[in-house]
Structure 1
Amino acid sequence: MQKDNKDNWTLVPKTEAEVAALRERCRGIVRRRAALAAGVSAVPIPGVDVVSDVALFTRLVEEINRSFGLTEAEIGRWQPEIRVMAYRAAAGVGGMLVGRLVTKELVLKILAKSGAKLAAKTTAKVVPLAGSIASAAIGFAVFRQMGYQHVEACAEVARQLLVAKTG
Structure 2
Amino acid sequence: MSEKQVSLYIAVSLDGYIADEDGSVSWLESIDSEGDAGYEAFFDNVDTVVMGRTTYQQIFSLTDTFPYSKKDVYVFSNTKAGTQDEYADFVSGTVDNWLNEISGEHVWLVGGAQLVKQFLKEKAIDRFVLTIAPIILGKGIPLFEQDDTHTLELEEVARFGQFAQLIYRNVEE
Q: Give the TM-score range, shorter chain.
A: under 0.3
What TM-score, normalized to structure 2? Answer: 0.24
Structure that is richer in helix per residue: 1
Q: Which has the larger radius of gyration?
A: 1
